[in-house]
Amino acid sequence: HQARICHSTTVSGVANTWGYGAMTNSFNDIRNSKTMVIMGGNPAEAHPISLQHLLEGKELNHANFVVIDPRFTRTAAHATEYVRLRPGTDIAVLWGMLWHIFQNGWEDKEFIAQRVYGMDEVRKEVEKYPPDEVERISGVPGEQLKRVAELFATQKPATLIWCMGQTQHTVGTANVRASCILCLATGNIGKPGAGANIFRGHDNVQGATDIGLDVVTLPFYYGLTEGAWNHWARVWEVSYEDLLSRFESKEIMETPGIPLTRWFDATLLPKDEIEQRDNLRAMFVQGHASNSITRIPESVKGLAKLDLLVVADPHPTTWAALAVQA
């Protein structure tokens, strides 16, 4: 399922910042924002319904509408400020914004003191990203970044919106963490119109991850510990022992599954290297195409090892073609 990879970095980054991997507000609430920053998304084409709320915030609420993107998109055409950055330099830009915020005392000191742990360490790291260094890395002029940072920190409530422009990188989780830290430093979280709003892709990605699709967690991001299983045993009105009996051992029960990006390792590697009781023999694929996996040669070899592959999709996908080939 595509939800496993398209925003899996968001789930990891957001959950490790404030405990659960989902957007903090709703589309409707974005209208309450005084500053809206989109970084890594193009709602005009990818999430057109959301654009209605963004434009109402801009035109009726007179909100600042900032788009940070390597391309001048249809969304950027609506922006009050467009920032062009080099692809893959999101962290430098976010850290550069924080540099200006800390240098000018724009951070929300009361919120940090009451709600945030570890911001002093972040402050030390951000010192490595003065304006000239950020401009060298990202191409964003220092004065423009200072202007955007001031808007986000002082024209509140502010919301930071991202999609797969941030997540589908080798450093996708770090991009997400940096975005969340920016919200925390400015106190733009947990309030109407303020938060980290992550626009998902397709196949109800958010709902799928909420109910436990990810291989490292039970529903609603409870993890795989004994305490998490006990909680869901009560919710599902079954005994913990009944759930345990469905697994070969307690160790397997609490071991994460195999991520989609490495599924073929479960067919090609020896049993003792895959942390599962046996090699993978059958697979059901829905809402995903294998061409988003970087190691396609190994994927093809893995298909040849399967006894059964079922592909459920409205159109013939790469998976279906490879299945026939295998």
The DSSP-derived string for 245-274 is TTSS-HHHHTS----GGGTTHHHHS-GGGT
- pLDDT above 70: residue 201: no
- pLDDT above 80: residue 202: no
* Mean pLDDT score, 209-213: 76
Bridge partner residues of 39 (DSSP): 68
Cα separation, 245 vs 222, whole angstroms: 20
Among 8-17, 141-150, 259-268, top mean pLDDT goes to: 141-150
- pLDDT above 50: residue 12: yes
- pLDDT above 80: residue 83: yes
CA 117 to chain CA centroid, Å, is 21
- Between 136 and 26, the higher pLDDT residue: 136
- pLDDT above 80: residue 191: yes
**Confidence band, pLDDT 50/70/90 cuts, at residue 87:** very high
Cα separation, 270 vs 283, whole angstroms: 18
**Confidence band, pLDDT 50/70/90 cuts, at residue 18:** confident
* CA nearest to 141, candidates 181, 103, 96, 185: 96
Cα separation, 213 vs 158, whole angstroms: 31
Q: What six digits make up the tokens of 163?
A: 């999609």
By DSSP bridging, strand 35-39 and strand 64-68 are parallel
Cα separation, 292 vs 264, whole angstroms: 14
Residue 316 has what pLDDT? 84
- Long-range CB contacts (within 8 A, 24+) of 58-61: 60/31, 61/31, 61/32, 61/33, 61/34
**Confidence band, pLDDT 50/70/90 cuts, at residue 323:** low
Residue 95 has what pLDDT? 96
Q: What six digits make up the tokens of 33?
A: 């924002």
Residue 4 has what pLDDT? 46
- Between 98 and 286, the higher pLDDT residue: 98
Residue 10 has what pLDDT? 63
b/e sequence 166-179, b meaning 16+ C-beta within 10 Å: bbbbeebbbbbbbb
Residue 5 has what pLDDT? 55
- pLDDT above 70: residue 13: no
The 10 Å Cβ neighbour count of residue 302 is 24
**Confidence band, pLDDT 50/70/90 cuts, at residue 2:** very low
Residue 7 has what pLDDT? 54
Cα separation, 316 vs 263, whole angstroms: 21
The answer to whether 197 touches 23, Cβ cutoff 8 Å, is yes
* Mean pLDDT score, 55-81: 93
Lowest mean pLDDT among 135-144, 159-168, 274-283, 305-314: 159-168
Cα separation, 239 vs 255, whole angstroms: 20
Cα separation, 72 vs 88, whole angstroms: 16
The answer to whether 91 touches 178, Cβ cutoff 8 Å, is yes
- Between 152 and 276, the higher pLDDT residue: 152
Cα separation, 74 vs 62, whole angstroms: 20
Cα distances from 94 to residues 68, 119, 187, in angstroms, run 11, 15, 15
Residue 164 has what pLDDT? 74
pLDDT tens string 232-291: 999 999 999 999 999 989 999 999 888 777 888 899 999 888 878 889 999 888 877 666
* Mean pLDDT score, 46-64: 88
Q: In sequence order, which residues have a C-beta less than 8 Å from that of residue 56 and are 6 or more positions away?
A: 31
* Mean pLDDT score, 306-310: 90
